[in-house]
Every structure is written in structure tokens, then in C-alpha cells.
Amino acid sequence: MIGFMSRMRDDMTRFVMEYRFAVQEILTKVTILREEFLHLHHYNPIEHVTSRVKSPTSILQKAIRKDIRPELPELREHITDIAGVRITCSFITDTYQVLEALTSQDDVRVLTVKDYIADPKPNGYKSLHALLQIPVFLSTGPVDVTVELQVRTVAMDFWASLEHKIFYKYDGALPQQLVDDLTDAAATAAELDRRMERLHTEVHGADGRNTGPQTDIDDEVLRYLWKHAR
């Protein structure tokens, strides 16, 4: 038993490490996208990014609840939310743009996509969910690791965060009046998203980018470039 527990501890440490590396890969991709949007398009659709990786204890607790054998291949196949990345965007159109930019990359394999923005959950929850599989390159070779990605607006994130806290406060058994109030609040958040995006479009145009003059090149360099461009 002692030998089994020792091996399991070492295996789980390496197992969780793979998921940490996968999250780092996704975060690197997001950082590159932010830089590109900001410097080339003068617009950054990403407000903030959070991430998490379940602890070995949390993984095994979920395995117990789902009656999954404590073997790494079983855990890898049946527990798909070990690693998670959440991207919060300014507007609804941004969520789709960011998801498309990430999922279209050659080394990202899309397992599933659930559009809870177009088709919200009954309680009003909205977000884009995707299960992505990316290779993590270790000294022993590449390992395909699954990461759960969520993309939502600021308003959606605000509602979901409060709903989550209230849900656990009542241990999942919410009074009907509270359910109705949360559903109404979700509709209000959705209307706020629509109104703010409409205002943004009126100011910045349909593509939402700042097309005004933005450059850190001084006048002498500009004259030099203009001379040779002709």
C-alpha cells in the first residue's frame, strides 16, 4: 500500500504538471493575440484572463463522485475540466472573434464547442465554452492535454460569478423567488451588453477598431518613408 501511494503521488504530480504546462501554452497564445490586436489593430478585445488547475485532491474527489477508477488514462479521458482558462471580453462580438482566433490555430484541436450566448442555459447563464486539446512537449515526447476554455463578456462574467456564490450559499437548492430574480438579472445583463455594443459601434464603427492616427514614429522618419514610398 505504501509503495502504491508513493507511485500514485509521483504520477499525480507529473499528471497535474502537464495540465499546468497546457494552461501556460494557452495563456501564451492569448498574450500574443492581445499584443497583436493592440499594436496592429489599435484595439484590444480582451479585458482580462484567469486560469486554474485542479489540485490532485480535487481531481480524485471528482473521480470518487463520478465513480472513475484512479488511473491516469481514466482521469484524463473522463475529467475534462482539470485545467481551465477564462477570457473576459468587452463585447459579444469580441467573444466570438477571440474564440475563432484561438481555435483556428494549427496546434489546437477543438473537441467541443458550446454556445451558451446564442442558446443560454435555463437560468440565463451565457458564455462560450470550448474543450481544446493542445500538445505539451516534454522530455519524453508530446502529450495531448485538454483545457476547458470559457469566453464571456464583462456583464456575463459579473452575473456568473455572483450566481455561483449564491448557488453554493444555498448548496444548490435555491428558492424559486431567487431563481426568478437571477433569471431577470441575466436578462438585464444581456440588455446591457447589447446597449453598450450598440454605443461602441456608433462611436468606433462596425469593426470596433480605433482607426485614428496612432504612431510613435517621429516626423523625420515619416518624411523619409514618404520620400521612398513615392
Of 160, 63, 148, 56, the closest CA to residue 102 belongs to 148
The 3-state secondary structure of 172-216 reads CCCCHHHHHHHHHHHHHHHHHHHHHHHHHHHHHCCCCCCCCCCCC
Q: Which residue has the higher pLDDT, 98 or 177?
A: 98
According to the model, what pLDDT value does residue 211 have?
47
When pLDDT is averaged across residues 12-32 and rounded to a whole number, the result is: 95
Using one digit for the tens of pLDDT, what is the confidence trace for 159-191?
Answer: 998 887 887 666 667 778 777 788 888 888 888
Q: What is the CATH number of domain 2-222?
A: 3.30.460.10
What pTM, to 2 d.p., does this model score?
0.81
CB atoms within 10 A of CB 153: 27
Using one digit for the tens of pLDDT, what is the confidence trace for 197-219?
Answer: 888 778 777 665 554 444 556 77
Res 108 pLDDT > 80: yes
Catalytic one of 18, 35, 77, 148: 148
Domain segments of the chain as ranges: 2-222
Using one digit for the tens of pLDDT, what is the confidence trace for 133-154?
Answer: 999 999 889 999 999 999 999 9
Using one digit for the tens of pLDDT, what is the confidence trace for 29-81?
Answer: 999 999 998 888 788 899 999 999 999 999 999 999 999 998 899 999 999 99
Q: What is the DSSP letter of 70?
A: S
Of 159, 155, 151, the closest CA to residue 131 belongs to 151
Res 86 pLDDT > 90: yes
**How far is 205 from 81, CA to CA, in rounded Å?**
37
148 is catalytic: yes
**How far is 195 from 124, CA to CA, in rounded Å?**
18
Q: Which residue has the higher pLDDT, 7 or 74?
A: 74
When pLDDT is averaged across residues 14-22 and rounded to a whole number, the result is: 95
Backbone angles phi, psi at 30, to 5 degrees: -65, -40
Q: What is the DSSP letter of 37?
A: H
